[in-house]
Chains A and B, each alone.
Chain A
Amino acid sequence: MEESSYEPAVIDRFEGEYAVILVGEMQRPYDILRHRLPPAAREGDWLRIERIDNQIITVQLDPEATAAARQRILSKLERLRRGEHLRDA
């Protein structure tokens, strides 16, 4: 039996009974039945998924990763809104 591995993923959206999660560095889309996610899971939440080959075994919320991504993204967005990226050398 293959060993399981852990990977970060993020919930991109819900489509009916499915959640579409984006997995790993490549943000590869993966459909997972909504009921397999923790009940509190929301669009935009980061997860830690455990998988063997292409099968997802467990899914856990990763609130720290979500908060970190949100903060990083908001600061980038502020730069864009202020047009700072146009002035940079």
Chain B
Amino acid sequence: MCQSSTCPHCGKPLRLSARFCGMCGKPLPRRAQSSLNALKHRSRVLGGKILPGLISLALICFALTIINPVRQNLLAAIGWDESNALPINTATATITTFEVRETNDSLSTPTVAVAPPSPTTHAVAESSDKSLLEVHVIDVGQGDSILIRTPEGKTALIDGGYDNGRALAYLQAEGVTRIDVMVASHPHADHIGGLVEVLTALSVGEVWTSGATHTTGTYERFLDAIIAAKVPYYEARRGDAIPLGSLNLNILHSDPNASELNNTSVVLRLAYGRISFLFTGDAEHAAEYEMLATVRDQLSATVLKVAHHGSYTSSSPEFLAAVQPAVAIYSAGRDNTYGHPHPGTIQALRRIGATVYGTDEHGTIVITTDGKNYHVQTEYDRPPIQAPPTDTWHDSISLIPGSNLSIADRDCSDFTTQAEAQAFFLANGGPGRDPHRLDGDNDGIACERLP
């Protein structure tokens, strides 16, 4: 605790919960704060004191073992066939969250039934029910890697994290020997590095990119691996549909000419029955505004893979309002240097009612769906991510690099477009903060009157 009361970089005294130093602006080690926050969380959940909390937990666990038949009746009552849910092929994951939602459509507010965590590890190798779609957000450390398995057994891999072997190891542990469709959202090393290893070790049917290029050795190796494996190479355009068995990966964005590589990201939507997924790569505000202008009516999704590791550069309120996710999942490395995910992003996701999971806290996250219901399974048994209390991140937001809080107060006339004002608004804390009062009506949209 004493260590976290001064900045390790410049020695300035800090609040215990600060994530960035108020003096030098450098991010602070997260370990101390996250254990502190975890402690706060537990004491809140279990009634304010640790010891009674532990006793309550033991009692709850005991009660859950007794009420298991009741749980099954509850699930049956809301239409969930448990044979759909289990068994699921999870060599590494323990079922720690079991969440069922009755979804009449993805935009309605679903009835939520949360069943108790199952204490069992299901080591069954194959799913007996072939009607299930699985989406695995793989814990690859800092980076993105997402495996999709369709009911027909087709596989897609969106990104592969760094070349640290983790994506490939996960696929091998899952018994995946072939990737039918590989998508590189954009050419940054934390997305394509691991794809090189997969291309080298497994059979790959086709590779899709936006066509954006890079000059790094990692990107060149990616091209070399496609050439060596003789895999057909395609470049996606908005409006394309990449077939994956009888399902489609619909391309909502893919812009090789965007000025920053993150905004070249291939953004895909996958729908299975009433359940849908939106995979956003590292798309930032500029790409989000383009999608809002062109494909707004196609953005809604039950599950959102949060863009750019939960960074403040992405997940604008308008974009989230169009997606309306019930579940939001980001991928970020534990204790990463960049402060991912940013607290404002978590708050924005919570504000629209999404249940938030992150690979830094939950490990690999697997969503399984029969097209009507879905459930979320996490490697580590932890509660969903909550927005940190606002007073703990005011300091960090004002010091987000590139933001200009030190400058004089701004008003809407300082911006030429709404998008520009919005980006500034978000970079300075977004809804709930708004030190420049750009969002007078508090609807999350700054300077509505600008073009």
Residues of A within 8 A of B (CB): 10, 12-13, 15-18, 20, 22, 25, 27, 29, 31, 34, 43-46, 66, 69-70, 72-74, 76-77, 79-81, 83, 85-86, 88
Contacts and interface: CB of A to CB of B under 8 A. Distances in A.
B419 interface: no
Interface in B306-345: 311, 337-340
> Chain A CB within 10 Å — which of B26, B217, B402 has the most?
B217
Nearest to A8: B217
A46 B227 contact: no
Main secondary structure of the interface of B (DSSP, over half): loop
A22 B217 contact: yes
Which are the 9 A-B pairs with shortest beta-carbon distances? A17-B401, A80-B233, A15-B338, A16-B401, A85-B227, A44-B215, A69-B215, A27-B217, A76-B223
Contacts of A17: 25-26, 401-402
Given A34-B401, A77-B213, A80-B226, A69 B233 contact: no
A66 B218 CA distance: 14
Nearest to A66: B215
Interface of B: 25-26, 162-163, 188-190, 193, 213-221, 223-224, 226-227, 230, 232-233, 235, 260-262, 311, 337-340, 400-402
Contacts of A29: 162, 189-190
A45 B261 CA distance: 13
Name A's interface SS.
Answer: mixed
B227 A44 contact: no
Given A18-B337, A76-B223, A77-B213, A85 B218 contact: no
A15 B337 contact: yes
Contacts of A15: 311, 337-338, 340
B133 to A, nearest CB: 30
Contacts, number: 92
Given A17-B25, A18-B338, A22-B189, A12 B218 contact: yes
A81 B216 contact: no
A69 B220 contact: yes
A10 to B, nearest CB: 5
Nearest to B223: A76
Contact of B219 (A31, A66, A73): A73
Of A15, A45, A80, A85, the most chain B CB neighbours within 10 A belong to A15
A85 B339 CA distance: 41
Name the residue among A27, A46, A79, A86 with the largest chain B CB count within 10 angstroms. Answer: A27
**Residue of A18, A34, A80, A81 with highest tally of chain B CB at under 10 A:** A80
Contacts of B233: 80-81, 83, 85
Given A17-B401, A73-B215, A76-B220, A12 B189 contact: yes
A68 B431 CA distance: 46
Contact of B261 (A13, A18, A81, A83): A13
B217 A74 contact: no
